[in-house]
Amino acid sequence: MKPSKYILFALFMLAFLPAFSGDIRMGIAPNPANNQVSVSIDGTTNGGQQHPEIYTLLGEKVSAAQWRREGNTFIFNTSAIPDGIYLVRYGNGEQAVVKQLKIQHQ
């Protein structure tokens, strides 16, 4: 895929998938993140992913992510991820929600 197609894919994920998220709600804090981010998932998550996934705007998965789970909150260490804009995605097979995450190290 050409880079322009990746950007179109990222824009599609931001523009349309949240509208189809149904009962899934996702919160990201802090945003922008420095060394750690917490992603809270609420709503119907039966059959859902084990944890959220982080993607670059080019659609590349950032990592197999070492998430730590505390109830319905997933915590991820962002210290090794370069500054930039990323997409955080969580889905349960039928629905998905995608939100933007900015990583900005101080």
pLDDT (tens digit, 9 = 90+) per residue, 50-103? 788 999 999 999 865 578 888 889 999 998 899 999 999 988 777 889 999 999
Q: Does residue 49 sit in helix, strand or coil?
A: coil
Q: Count the domains in the chain.
A: 1
- CB neighbour list of residue 36: distance below 8 Å, 6 or more residues apart: 75, 76, 77, 78, 79
CA 9 to chain centre: 14
pLDDT at residue 23 in the model: 76
The H-or-E segment that residue 14 falls in is: helix 3-15
pLDDT at residue 93 in the model: 75
| pLDDT greater than 60 at residue 105 | yes
Q: Report the CATH number at residue 27.
A: 2.60.40.10
Domain that holds residue 46: 3-103
Give 21's pLDDT tier (boundaries 50, 70, 90): very low
Q: Are 28 and 99 in contact (CB under 8 A)?
A: yes
Q: What is the pLDDT of residues 35-56, one digit of tens each?
A: 999 999 887 656 566 788 999 9
Determine the Cα angle at 8 with ends 59 and 98, to 5°.
Answer: 55
